[in-house]
């Protein structure tokens, strides 16, 4: 029972703003546009009479949106949760009860003779609250969904960043036929690997300085060795590049070239690998 009262108070607090706004809107609409004939009332009594329309709408909304779910609890639920009525059903109840209540109010309080035109105006005024509440619920749902997606995106970004950090901190040992020339480098430090006859030239970064190392090996063997690392891609038959060091792909004199961050030399891009490189970038 204590939880049910807490849920009732929480519901009232969460919905109070929109409920009061709707009832105030109904009152101001009746006040300024005067859709119904007024009896011989002075100014103060007239204000009270017109405020009654907003009061009726407010009471009906509170009953349908807050009290009814609070009363009709799901007894089979382990957490004692209120029954969630479909929004269309709630809107229909608000429209129906508001229309009937306002017509009774007009007839027996305002002494207004009901007609088809009066009933139509009552219908339109009673239709506004469920429409506004439906839009409000939709906006709230989209906002929550957007917040959830933003949070999920942040979590995924952190996971990707951690993965990339772990991934790039791995090392790879490049083997030379002359075993004295073997070199072990971090994935994150390797800029590119170029073929040079029976040798390969490995360009890597040491701190802020670019350095190179010649190994007696073939580019094909090196490519097989680093195939598992997706950040390496072949840009030319004689060159493999690390995607993380590419600043941009440019075209000069009908030829494509890669600009490397902080490095003066450009790397050639052949037509054979151009499309795949563009997709990777």
Domains of the chain in start order, with CATH, are 2-161 (no CATH), 171-280 (2.40.50.1020)
To the nearest 10 degrees (0 to 180), the angle between helices 43-62 and 116-168 is: 50
Q: What is the arithmetic mean of pLDDT over 112-127?
A: 94
**Does the structure show a pLDDT above 80 at 36?**
yes
Do the Cβ atoms of 74 and 81 come closer than 8 Å? yes
Distances from the Cα of 41 to the Cαs of 113, 248, 281, in angstroms?
16, 78, 76
pLDDT band at 132 (very low <50, low <70, confident <90, very high): very high
167 pLDDT higher than 80: no
Residue 106's pLDDT is 93
Distance CA 186, CA 167 (A): 10
Predicted confidence at residue 74, as pLDDT, reads 53
Query: Which of 81, 94, 76 lies closest to 137, judged by CA?
Result: 94
CA distances from 165 to 86, 158, 186, 191, 231 (A): 47, 10, 11, 17, 13
Residue 73: pLDDT band by 50, 70, 90 thresholds? Answer: low
Residue 201 has pLDDT above 80, yes or no: yes
pLDDT (0 to 100) of residue 104: 95
- Which pLDDT score, from 0 to 100, does residue 146 have? 93
Specify which of 27-31, 184-188, 270-274 reaches the highest per-range mean pLDDT. 27-31
pTM to 2 decimal places: 0.58
Place of tokens 């609409």: 29
d(CA 145, CA 234): 41
CA distance 118 to 30: 13
Q: Which residues pair with 186 in a beta bridge?
A: 171
CA distance 192 to 181: 18
Distance CA 231, CA 124 (A): 62
Percent of the chain with pLDDT over 70: 90
């Amino acid at each position: 029972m204590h939880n049910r009262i807490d849920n009732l108070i929480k519901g009232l607090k969460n919905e109070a703003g929109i409920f009061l706004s709707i009832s105030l809107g109904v009152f101001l609409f009746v006040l300024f546009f005067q859709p119904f004939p007024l009896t011989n009332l002075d100014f103060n009594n007239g204000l009270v009479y017109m405020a009654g329309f907003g009061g009726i709408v407010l009471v009906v909304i509170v009953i349908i949106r807050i009290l009814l779910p609070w009363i009709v609890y799901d007894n089979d639920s382990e957490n004692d949760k209120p029954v969630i009525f479909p929004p269309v059903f709630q809107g229909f109840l608000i429209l129906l009860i508001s229309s009937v209540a306002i017509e009774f109010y007009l007839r027996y309080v305002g002494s207004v003779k009901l007609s088809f035109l009066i009933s139509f105006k009552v219908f339109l005024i009673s239709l506004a609250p469920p429409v506004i509440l439906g839009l409000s619920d939709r906006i709230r749902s989209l906002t929550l969904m957007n917040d959830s997606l933003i949070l999920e995106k942040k979590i995924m970004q952190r996971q990707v960043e951690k993965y990339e950090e772990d991934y790039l901190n791995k090392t790879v040992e490049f083997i030379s036929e002359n075993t004295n020339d073997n070199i072990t480098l971090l994935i994150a430090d390797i800029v590119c690997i170029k073929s040079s006859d029976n040798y390969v030239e490995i360009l890597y970064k040491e701190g802020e300085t670019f350095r190179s190392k010649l190994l007696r090996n073939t580019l094909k063997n090196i490519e097989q060795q680093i195939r598992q690392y997706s950040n390496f891609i072949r840009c030319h038959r004689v060159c493999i590049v690390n995607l993380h060091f590419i600043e941009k792909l440019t075209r000069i004199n009908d030829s494509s070239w890669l600009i490397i961050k902080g490095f003066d030399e450009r790397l050639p891009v052949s037509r054979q690998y151009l499309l795949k490189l563009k997709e990777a970038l």
